[in-house]
Structure 1
Amino acid sequence: MQPVSDFTAEIKIKNLRLRTYIGIKDDEIRNQQDVVINVIIQYDASKAITDNCIESALNYRTITKKIIQYVQEGRFALLERMTQDVLDIIMSHEQVNEARVEIDKPHALRFSDSVSVSLMARRELDSGLN
């Protein structure tokens, strides 16, 4: 088997449906609403591929549990803030090189399925050049 050097894995968490307080109108402040969260996470999976054990992989279950707890217990005025906070949770894991979060607020606009906000972050990798 050829040695593994640099394999970027892309983990996708699709349509994570949660309820939270989101919005600025009185009824939004009083009543929870649905949000749909989609996440794309990239990390170097070389060690996980070589070792074939969970300790070497990025644990997406742990990340998802943190997102669920944070969103369900939170109160947010703006979708932008919630999206940034979820992105921060993901990027707090050192293995993550890049992440993109999109959060939909279904039925936020009349005649529309949803409104969404997307944000992306990339970790500056040390190139070893100084």
Structure 2
Amino acid sequence: MPNQHISNAIIKVKNLRLRTFIGFNPDEIAKQQDVVINLAVHYPAEMAAQTDDVENALNYKVITKRIIQHVEEGRFLLLEKLVADVLDICTDHPWVKYASVTIDKPHALRFADSVSLTLEKYCE
């Protein structure tokens, strides 16, 4: 069987639950709130799949640790800024071709489970 081309790998991190200062109302400025982060990062995985060498794979732990540090240490007025910052971290590696980040802010509205915002970036 001929060596077939492998499409991009899609790394997904689901329901990363963190706490941060998010919002501009007095109670939001005073205390941290929960946020739930979901992301998808696309990168070419052909070399990793062929070689089984970690040097040829995108290290999702490194990306996730950077996100955790940035979110937990930051203060954000707008969900748009928080999502954009996380998206920048996801697309920082030169191998990344596309990323999508959704962040939910649970209990932001009285009668809704959460409010979420999604941003995506193509990097080619």
Interval of TM-score (by shorter of Structure 1 and Structure 2)? over 0.9
Identity of aligned residues (%): 56
* Structure 2 gaps, min length 5: none
Q: Give, as a single letter, the amino acid of the residue that structure 2 aligns with 1:57.
A: A
Q: What is the aligned partner in structure 2 of residue 5 from structure 1? A: 5
Name 1:88's counterpart in structure 2. Answer: 88
Q: 2:4 & 2:41 partners in 1: Cα distance?
A: 20
**CA contact under 8 A between 1:4 and 1:49: conserved in structure 2?**
no
Q: Which amino acid aligns with 1:77?
A: L
How far residue 6 of structure 1 moved from its aligned partner, in angstroms, is 3.9
- State the alpha-carbon separation in 2 of the partners of residues 2 and 29 from structure 1: 59
Whether the aligned pair in 2 keeps the contact of 1:22 and 1:32 (CA below 8 Å) is yes
**1:36 Cα deviation after fit:** 0.1
Alpha-carbon shift at residue 95 of structure 1 (Å):
1.1
Q: What SS does structure 1 have at the residue aligned with 2:50?
A: helix
- 1:67 maps to which residue? 67
Deviations 1:8-34 (A, max 9, x none): 111110000000000000110010000
Give the aligned partner of residue 41 of structure 1: 41
Structure 1 gaps of 5+ residues are: 125-130
Q: Does residue 104 of structure 2 align to residue 104 of structure 1?
A: yes
**Is it true that 1:120 corresponds to 2:93 in the alignment?**
no
Q: Quote the offset at 1:53 in angstroms.
A: 1.3
Please report the TM-score for the alignment, with normalisation by the length of structure 2.
Answer: 0.96
Q: Is it true that 1:15 corresponds to 2:18 in the alignment?
A: no
Q: Which stretch shows the higher mean deviation, 3-12 or 38-47?
A: 3-12
Secondary structure of residue in 1 paired with 2:97? strand
* Cα distance in 2 between the residues matched to 1:52 and 1:14: 24
| 1:7 Cα deviation after fit | 2.3
State the TM-score, normalizing by the size of structure 1: 0.92
Residue 29 (1) aligns with residue 47 (2): no
How far 1:4 moved relative to its partner? 4.9
Contact 1:48 1:57 in 2 (8 A): yes
Whichever residue aligns with residue 31 of structure 2, its letter is N
Moved over 2 A (4+): 1-7
One-letter identity of the residue aligned with 2:91: M
Q: Describe the SS at the equivalent of 1:40.
A: strand
